[in-house]
Amino acid sequence: MQQRTKTVYTCFATDVIHEGHLKIIAEALKYGNVTVGVLSDRALIRYNRFPTVSLDRRIANAREINGVSNVIIQDDVMYDKIISELRPDYIIHGDNWLTGPIRAIRDNAAALLSEYGGHLIEVPYSYSENIDLIEKRKRAALAMPEYRRKRLRQLISIRPAVKAIEVHSGLTGLIAEKTVIEHNGELDQFDAMWISSLCDSTAKGKPDTELVDMTSRFRTIDEVTEVTTKPIIFDGDTGGQTEHFVYTVRTLEKMGVSAVIIEDKTGHKKNSLFGTDVPQTQDNIESFCAKIAAGKKAQLTDDFMIIARIESLILDKGMDDALQRAKAYVNAGADGIMIHSRKNTPDEVFEFCGSFRKFDKITPLAAVPTSYSKVTEGELAAHGVNIVIYANHLTRSAFPAMQKTAENILKYHRAFETEDDLMSINDIITLIDEI
């Protein structure tokens, strides 16, 4: 009886086929007919590899490889669907997936294969100067303003909810950029960064009152863009005078920022989470609409977004006022609406989103679940929220840790007792990659 030709599957999470991939294909061909899976955009993003070329191009690249019998799309980083549909005899992969969070993908594939006697083949991962250069060039391309700027709009169209974390320096930028976790068999990471006025000011020891000027805020953006590729949402406070805001928009666009969020307050702005404990003045609708319209007129790219932030719930002005403003701001050209709340449940945010979505199904909505932190991203997305911003969490976690270390050194007149709380010297001196 003639033996059935074996099926070998390999999946590529890449924009460029290089010698490492060709080595895997050469090895795979020894075992049978080779099917290559090309990760979809959605899956590549989960994998922390934002695509720089289209899915069609990536498929064409895979088809051009000699010896490949079949090219299919893999729409999830996990192999469950592929394995159940294709039932490959072998899955072949570089052994780099034995370490780090992607080990979860490997273990999952191995378990599924073992259910029917399939095998995993792991080939030594190829490191070469050329592969290294390809990786570096890709990262450099993603960091360029024209790629980075449009990435937020791309993510909004792909992700159920884009999640952004606060950053205020190169170091916090690196945490947002590189933190990938595996939890319950899923990989996760942040999609975007929020340059918070609160945290940017706090890092400089200044109050969050628009005291830190725009030139200094732009310096923070520079620090962050220097070492990251993910898109930036900039907290533009009130946007300042309309005559100045138009210049801010141009500068942010040029720097590759994806969106500015401006809040409808005027005068001596204080942080929203003070609520009505401090005097704060909400701008009138006409004047704020004029600021949005002027910003939209000034912008030069289609990618950049001006998101209008509504403070009506913060200032106890009521739901009707918030909704009336939302309508007006969208009509004035706002590319998105951020609804802010300082309640400890998400109820009023959900109510706003429900009413807003009755008359506007498209305009992206952003929420900042600081005071209502029990809500999950999934719940917010189910109510129509597109962007979830964790607005201050890196600063709030770093400060108590630093304070405790300072107190312990004072207490014990030496540093030994702090050691358990510290990263190792080796970790800190190797944390930042050298070129």
What is the dihedral angle through the alpha carbons of 14, 20, 25, 31, rounded to the nearest 10 degrees?
-120
String of DSSP letters for 312-359? TTTTT--HHHHHHHHHHHHHTT-SEEEE---SSSSHHHHHHHHHHHHH
The answer to whether residue 235 forms part of the interface with ligand SPV (CB under 6 A) is yes
With CB under 6 A as the contact rule, the residue among 8, 289, 306, 368 that binds ligand SPV is 368
Q: Closer to ligand SPV at the Cβ: 116 or 399? A: 399
Q: Is 208 an active-site residue?
A: yes
29/123 Cα distance (integer angstroms)? 13
Site track for ligand SPV across 370-409, x = CB under 6 A? x--------------------xx-----------------
Token pair, residue 36, equals: 């290559």
Q: Which does 16 bind (CB under 5 to 8 A by kind): ligand SPV, Mg ion, none?
A: none
Q: Closer to ligand SPV at the Cβ: 167 or 353? A: 167
Tokens 């300082």, residue located? 342
From the list 134-142, 167-175, 270-278, 410-418, the region that binds ligand SPV by CB under 6 A is 270-278
The answer to whether residue 196 forms part of the interface with ligand SPV (CB under 6 A) is yes
Q: Which does 368 bind (CB under 5 to 8 A by kind): Mg ion, ligand SPV, none?
A: ligand SPV
Backbone angles phi, psi at 24, to 5 degrees: -65, -40
With CB under 6 A as the contact rule, the residue among 131, 214, 273, 298 that binds ligand SPV is 273
Tokens 């989470």, residue located? 273
Q: Which does 272 bind (CB under 5 to 8 A by kind): Mg ion, ligand SPV, none?
A: ligand SPV
| Plot region of 133 (φ>0 → left; ψ -120 to 50 → alpha; else → beta) | alpha
95/332 Cα distance (integer angstroms)? 54
Q: Which does 312 bind (CB under 5 to 8 A by kind): Mg ion, ligand SPV, none?
A: none
With CB under 6 A as the contact rule, the residue among 35, 48, 272, 341 that binds ligand SPV is 272
- Do the Cβ atoms of 79 and 91 come closer than 8 Å? yes
Q: Closer to Mg ion at the Cβ: 62 or 391? A: 391
As measured in angstroms, the least distance from the Cβ of 208 to Mg ion is: 6
As measured in angstroms, the least distance from the Cβ of 242 to ligand SPV is: 20
The answer to whether residue 312 forms part of the interface with ligand SPV (CB under 6 A) is no
How far are the Cα atoms of 259, 287, 327, 346, 424 from residue 356, in angstroms, in the given order? 21, 22, 8, 15, 50
Backbone angles phi, psi at 136, to 5 degrees: -65, -40
Instruction: Give the residues lining the site for ligand SPV (CB under 6 A).
Output: 196-198, 208, 235, 271-273, 368, 370, 391-392
Could you list the active site residues? 208
